Amino acid sequence: MTYEGSSIDPAKPSIARVYDYLLGGKDNYAVDREIGDVFKRDLPGSVAIAFANRAVLTRAVREIAKTTGIRQFIDLGSGLPTADNVHQVAQRHAPESRVVYVDIDVQVLVHGRALLENNDRTRVVAVDVRNPEAIRSHPATLEVIDFALPVAVILSAILHHVNDDENPAGIVRYWRDQVPSGSCFFISHFRSGNNPETMEAEKVLQQTFGRGRWRTDAEIASLLDGLQILEPGIVPASLWRPDETDNPWNGGERRELTVWEHLIAAGLARKT
């Protein structure tokens, strides 16, 4: 999610492009790499946050597609396409799945048009996530989402860019009220760790983009009020239903998570 104008400005860093750079992507500019290098140089190991978040998103979408009847997804603040995007993961397990990507970063929208050319069950909506009603009523949303049927609402690494006075809980509450029982909400969120690494990473984000709010597990859980948080709850992303290949308990002995793996939390909730 960004708050820029209607054209790409290579002189201003973009949250989506910095994230792309940290994941090893090529859709970024020098200004984005400069910010990314602050994390790489001054906060060694912090790149693990981006990879842990991407991995847990993949697992969550796969879980929803394989174990529920949900076949429609709204990805709020989707960011730049990378490997295993939401529609690719969902359609791999349920080919009829439909996905709406929501973002206002211009470069995300350019890449989104390419998705539209290759997949008729995917749409891209250029609306700020802080305006959920405009997303809900957008013609592109209504082309592929039937709000009489369960929906998976994806909030991957987006609400920590929404300040408290912008009512992030109200954004979730709006979508909770718009979707029927059986719908799912996936959230990942920067997590307060009360340590120097957390404070420094949060400071870099706030100084660069003028916004950003780390939250505690309890605060993250409160964003999902009125929903049933499923097992294992709000936990570090690496501990959320890990695959056998990256399971911290592999071999019968739990390995210790790095401080960086503790800084991104994830959870899945259901509307009952």
CATH code at 15-242+255-271: 3.40.50.150
Sequence ranges of the domains in the chain = 15-242+255-271
Q: Is the dihedral of CA 93, 118, 16, 144 positive or negative?
A: negative
Ordered mean pLDDT values, 10 residues apiece, the chain (272 residues): 45 74 77 81 75 92 97 90 84 96 79 72 93 97 98 96 94 98 97 77 74 89 98 96 65 68 93 98
pLDDT of residue 5: 37
Q: Longest Cα pair distance anywhere in the chain, in angstroms?
A: 52
**Residue 229 CB contacts under 8 Å (≥ 6 apart), including other chains:** 221, 267, 268, 269
Q: ∠ at Cα 29 (24, 35), nearest 5°? A: 75
β-pair type (98-102, 228-229): unpaired
For every residue of 140-159, DSSP letters joined together read HHHHH--TTS--EEEEET-G
